[in-house]
Amino acid sequence: MQNFVRVLAGLGMAWVLFAGSAASAQTTTVAVIATGNLPGFRIQEAAPWLAERMAAAGLDHWRLVPGDPARPAPNRIEWEFEVLPYAGGEVRRFFPMAESQGPMDVHLQGRHRLISAEVKLFLDGEYQTVTLAQDEVKGGADDQDLIEFIVRATRMLDNAWHAIDLTPPDHGSR
């Protein structure tokens, strides 16, 4: 009889653990919104592309869909892009020069742009965290540097969100 009770208790504990992990493994639909200047895109076309690339980050707890900036969803990730000036200034050559050769010439001709992104996470309408990132990209849907930048910033945002301690503080009784 004691063995039977132990088996039932073990099954009950296994069920509690399984139900808890299944509840925590639920997928949340999160809308992706983009503002600012993303090289190679009209900003209205950026959100569907971003949502697809962010899915490549392998975050199974979020289902990423394009969002509408005019009607922000309560669960959303807001990307704000900015094209940054180069440290040498904004003046760049846009025509080949006889003395310029090699990869630096491509840089000077303006084919790469330094961009920054501020990525904010909102869940249930409440701000959660922000990630800041910057990199040099060509721009456009086929730019591998831009794709890696988006995936890297998405993982940074997820890591920042998981680092938040959501347990209520225990101040003890006084």
Q: How many residues does the chain have?
A: 174
Shortest CA distance to 104 belongs to which of 84, 117, 86, 116?
Answer: 86
Over residues 28-55, the pLDDT tens digits come to 999 999 999 999 999 889 999 999 999 9
* Cα 168 off chain centre by: 27
Q: Where are the alpha helices (DSSP H) in 73-134?
A: 103-108
pLDDT, tens digit only, all 174 positions of the chain: 555 545 444 444 444 434 444 444 689 999 999 999 999 999 889 999 999 999 989 999 999 999 998 999 999 999 999 999 866 555 555 555 555 444 444 444 446 789 999 999 999 999 999 999 999 999 999 999 999 999 999 999 999 999 987 777 777 765
CA-nearest of 68, 162, 158, 86 to 119 is 158
User: Judging by DSSP bridges, how do beta strands 76-84 and 113-123 pair with one another?
Assistant: antiparallel
Are 28 and 61 in contact, with CB atoms under 8 Å apart?
yes
